[in-house]
């Protein structure tokens, strides 16, 4: 039986900084377990009809965070799903409480240098365009690390997606 079922959890959620591979890894885990897969950012984009970047630009971060709360709380009410949560959703107390209550959480831990490398050419992360990417990533990591570290499972994802997925499936068995 899956670990998370023993814990009476309904879903598996992936948390971690942007670029940590939550969506790519989450999609593979969902496939392996025959679960549905959701990505909170993709659901937000669908609901509003704008990209995350456009939402930040036209409505601001505060609006985005409210929407993020609404969508994440809805997604977390599902059953037998793998959910990749936007990196900043963990700062929201209501989202954290619902994760703790009903989901098995996996923190994908990635070194800042690796993240910087992966995100070097991405312009999809509005928070990183506000200044020096390294300083911003270090800063948000420091704000969030205590929440990330409370995950049920912590997996390092510095290298290949395949080995990480294998590791997670093994840990869940
Ligand atoms: C954010 C992470 C992004 C997205 C938004 C804000 C954050 O999601 O929600 O740009 O605050 O860390 P990913 O973690 O999927 O990149």
Per-residue confidence band for 173, with pLDDT thresholds at 50, 70 and 90: confident
Residue 91 CA: nearest ligand 1 atom is 11
For residue 61, which of 84, 87, 96, 35 has the smallest C-alpha distance?
A: 87
Strand partners for 56: none
Mean pLDDT value across residues 125-150: 96
Average predicted confidence (pLDDT) for the chain: 94
- 88 Cα–ligand 1 center, Å: 6
Tell me the three state secondary structure of residue 51: coil
Residue 125 CA: nearest ligand 1 atom is 10
Per-residue confidence band for 5, with pLDDT thresholds at 50, 70 and 90: low
9-26 per-position pLDDT tens digit: 889 999 999 999 999 999
pLDDT of residue 21: 96
3-state helix, strand, coil in the chain (%, to 5): 60, 15, 25
- 6 Cα–ligand 1 center, Å: 31
16 C-beta closer than 6 A to ligand 1: no
CA distances from 76 to 25, 55, 65 (A): 18, 22, 16
Residue 7 has pLDDT above 70, yes or no: no
59-111 per-position pLDDT tens digit: 999 999 999 999 999 999 999 999 999 999 999 999 999 999 999 999 999 99
pLDDT of residue 78: 95
- 71 Cα–ligand 1 center, Å: 14
DSSP-assigned states of every residue in 81-142: EEEEPPTTGGG-HHHHHHHHHHEEEEEEE--HHHHHHHHTT----GGGGGS-HHHHHHHHHH
Residue 1 has pLDDT above 90, yes or no: no
For residue 112, which of 19, 13, 9 has the smallest C-alpha distance?
A: 19
The structure's pTM equals 0.95
- 27 Cα–ligand 1 center, Å: 17
125 C-beta closer than 6 A to ligand 1: yes
pLDDT of residue 9: 81
41 C-beta closer than 6 A to ligand 1: yes
88 C-beta closer than 6 A to ligand 1: yes
Q: Whose CA is nearest to atom 11 of ligand 1?
A: 88
d(Cα 42, Cα 34) in Å, to the nearest integer? 20
Is 82 exposed, middle or buried, given 0-12, 13-18 or 19+ CB atoms closer than 10 A?
buried
d(Cα 121, Cα 116) in Å, to the nearest integer? 9
Residue 6 has pLDDT above 70, yes or no: no
- Using most ligand atoms within 8 A of CB, pick from 15, 18, 57, 66 the residue to mutate for ligand 1: 18
């Amino acid at each position: 039986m899956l670990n998370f079922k023993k814990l009476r959890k309904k879903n598996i959620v992936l948390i971690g900084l942007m670029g940590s591979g939550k969506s790519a890894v989450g999609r593979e885990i969902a496939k392996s377990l025959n679960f549905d897969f959701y990505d909170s950012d993709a659901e937000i984009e669908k609901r509003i009809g704008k990209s995350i970047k456009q939402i930040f630009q036209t409505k601001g971060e505060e609006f985005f965070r409210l929407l993020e709360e609404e969508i994440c709380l809805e997604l977390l009410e599902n059953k037998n799903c793998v959910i990749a949560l936007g990196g900043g959703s963990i700062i929201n107390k209501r989202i954290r409480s619902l994760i703790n209550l009903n989901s098995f959480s996996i923190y994908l831990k990635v070194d800042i240098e690796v993240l910087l490398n992966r995100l070097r050419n991405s312009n999809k992360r509005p928070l990183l365009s506000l200044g020096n990417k390294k300083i911003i990533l270090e800063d948000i990591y420091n704000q969030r690390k205590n929440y990330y570290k409370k995950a049920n499972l912590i997996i390092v994802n510095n290298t290949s997606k395949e080995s990480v997925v294998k590791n997670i499936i093994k840990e869940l068995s």
